[in-house]
Amino acid sequence: DSGVTQTPKHLITATGQRVTLRCSPRSGDLSVYWYQQSLDQGLQFLIQYYNGEERAKGNILERFSAQQFPDLHSELNLSSLELGDSALYFCASSHDYTSYNEQFFGPGTRLTVL
Amino acid sequence: GQSLEQPSEVTAVEGAIVQINCTYQTSGFYGLSWYQQHDGGAPTFLSYNALDGLEETGRFSSFLSRSDSYGYLLLQELQMKDSASYFCAVQPDSGAGSYQLTFGKGTKLSVIP
């Protein structure tokens, strides 16, 4: 158990819909990273929040957005869903005091868009 | 941008030693990490190299050579439970103070009796 929680575990929805994925970081970690894992693209960095502020953006579509709340949990919002958005979405947390920091991954949310 | 190349599959015998190589192209990075992922599971951290050389953690060792743009993960005394996918990843130095990970495509290791 990494100490990072993600809900829901599975999500099945239809094209055009909007979903919200939730992540709670390990106690004490200020940084939350979101990653998407698909068969064709592998593990890709989407976006990072640090202590409530966006710190870095990766290959995140404009239809996707995220935020981090004062209690440090984070939500990833996916809208106008397409079939190609079906993937495993992980969040990871870390302390980020230095670059020598392991990222602790949550169990993931498996999104299926029908 | 960054790109990392690693073999897609490797098979090794229980009790043996296996090396998984990772070559990369990146303009600058903080360090090279290795993560393990079992089927259906989440990636878990194995090792990190910020400097050239070897880092040893139990049965696992990792090596980095920045001048050769190359690293590897060495797994010794292989066990059946080591069957998993292994990912190398760099932390690009984007100047934003982010330690985001850029992953390779992963190497699926199969350990056979």
- Nearest-Cα residue of chain A relative to residue B43: A105
- List, for residues A36-48, the tens digit of each pLDDT value: 999 888 899 999 9
State the Cα–Cα distance between residues B113 and B102, nearest whole angstrom.
33
DSSP letter for B5, please: E
Whether residue A102 and residue B45 make contact (CB cut-off 8 A), yes or no, is yes
- List, for residues A5-16, the tens digit of each pLDDT value: 999 999 999 999
pLDDT for B96 beyond 80? no
Residues of chain A with pLDDT under 50: none
State the Cα–Cα distance between residues A46 and B108, nearest whole angstrom.
24
pLDDT number for residue A99 = 74
Q: Is A22 exposed, middle or buried (0-12, 13-18, 19+ CB in 10 A)?
A: middle
Provide the token pair at A86: 């079906």
A:92-111 residues touching chain B, CB 8 A cutoff: 92, 94, 96, 99-108
Whether residue B103 and residue A48 make contact (CB cut-off 8 A), yes or no, is no
Whether residue B98 and residue A55 make contact (CB cut-off 8 A), yes or no, is yes
